[in-house]
Amino acid sequence: MSNYNAQDFLNGQVLLIDKPLEWTSFQALNKVRYALKKTFNIKKIKVGHAGTLDPLATGLLIICTGKQTKNISEYMGLPKTYTGTVFLGASTPSYDLETQPDKHYSTEHITEELVRKTIKQFIGDIWQVPPIFSAIRKDGRKAYEAARKGEEIDLPARKVHISKFVITRFELPEIDFEINCSKGTYIRSLAHDFGKALDSGGYLKALRRTQIGDFSVNDAPGPVEFAEKLSKPGY
């Protein structure tokens, strides 16, 4: 990024970052902010991201700097594409591996034909309940704060849109998928509901966000790589 200077980032840039596994979105954002401040000797700069990824997910984060932070809501509204793995035959309270499986089910009745038939229920406008292990606020606090204390909490269902849901690998107890969906879709809830629709529990084992609108993770360095290359010529 040798062709850029401090003012370019203060005026506003849109950066694509590939969030690593087990990093929070805030940690990735912090790494980018620190690299910008250190490289260009900036004391203060606005930096924000357009849509959180869970620590157990990887993939594309759109990070806006300077005046571009005013446009974050526009990027958040773009459709998103994910790839991932659903594990069938068990369920977890968090709908992913943040918590351990607490219920187990038979998968003997599940065939590839049944899976592809069941997918049709999840195409188009659907209603889903967000995971209780989420940052959604209920009664003034984040849902996961109550969930981690073992408290019961009811979150209202929300309507989301799934424009694409295809299976890319069928190898029980795992199936790989690719999904294109609207803002606000919880893939963890989709995995949970999908397992339920198959009369067998399911949870999200792996997730990667590959696209946001026309922005691709193929064009996104990791936060460490971004920091290392920031001041190098030709980046």
Q: Which of 173, 201, 171 is nearest to 188 (CA)?
A: 201
Same domain for 174 and 223? Answer: no
Residue 1 has pLDDT above 50, yes or no: no
Same domain for 220 and 117? Answer: no
How confident is the model over 135-169, as pLDDT tens digits?
666 566 665 555 565 666 666 788 999 999 999 99
For residues 33 and 41, give the distance between their C-alpha atoms in angstroms, rounded to a whole number.
11
For residues 196 and 41, give the distance between their C-alpha atoms in angstroms, rounded to a whole number.
53
How confident is the model over 104-140, as pLDDT tens digits?
999 999 999 999 999 999 999 999 988 766 566 656 6
Token pair recorded at residue 101: 């499986």
Same domain for 97 and 190? Answer: yes
Same domain for 120 and 207? Answer: yes
Cα 197 to chain centroid distance, Å, stands at 23
Q: What percent of the chain has pLDDT over 90?
A: 75
Question: Is position 235 within any domain?
Answer: no
How confident is the model over 209-228, as pLDDT tens digits?
999 999 999 999 999 999 99
Predicted pLDDT at 4: 77
For 178-186, what is the mean pLDDT? 95
Looking at residue 66, what DSSP letter applies?
A: G
- List, by residue number, the catalytic residues: 54
Same domain for 50 and 148? Answer: no
Predicted pLDDT at 5: 83
Tell me the CATH number at 206.
3.30.2350.10
Predicted pLDDT at 126: 97
Predicted pLDDT at 234: 52
Question: Is position 234 within any domain?
Answer: no
Decide: residue 235, CB within 10 A, 0-12 exposed, 13-18 middle, 19+ buried: middle
Model-level pTM? 0.90
Question: Is position 59 within any domain?
Answer: yes
Residue 50 has pLDDT above 50, yes or no: yes
Coil vs helix vs strand at 167: strand
The count of structural domains within the chain is: 2
Same domain for 221 and 200? Answer: no
Question: Is position 219 within any domain?
Answer: yes
Question: Is position 154 within any domain?
Answer: yes
Same domain for 89 and 173? Answer: yes
Predicted pLDDT at 156: 78
For 87-108, what is the mean pLDDT? 94
Phi, psi of 14 (to 5 degrees): -110, 115
Where in the sequence is the domain holding 46, given as residue range(s)?
6-77+214-229
Coil vs helix vs strand at 197: helix
Same domain for 189 and 219? Answer: no
For 181-199, what is the mean pLDDT? 95
How confident is the model over 31-41, as pLDDT tens digits?
999 999 999 98
Predicted pLDDT at 147: 55
Predicted pLDDT at 2: 52
Residue 175 has pLDDT above 80, yes or no: yes
Same domain for 89 and 13? Answer: no
Token pair recorded at residue 180: 């294109």
For 7-31, what is the mean pLDDT? 95
Mean per-residue pLDDT of the chain: 90
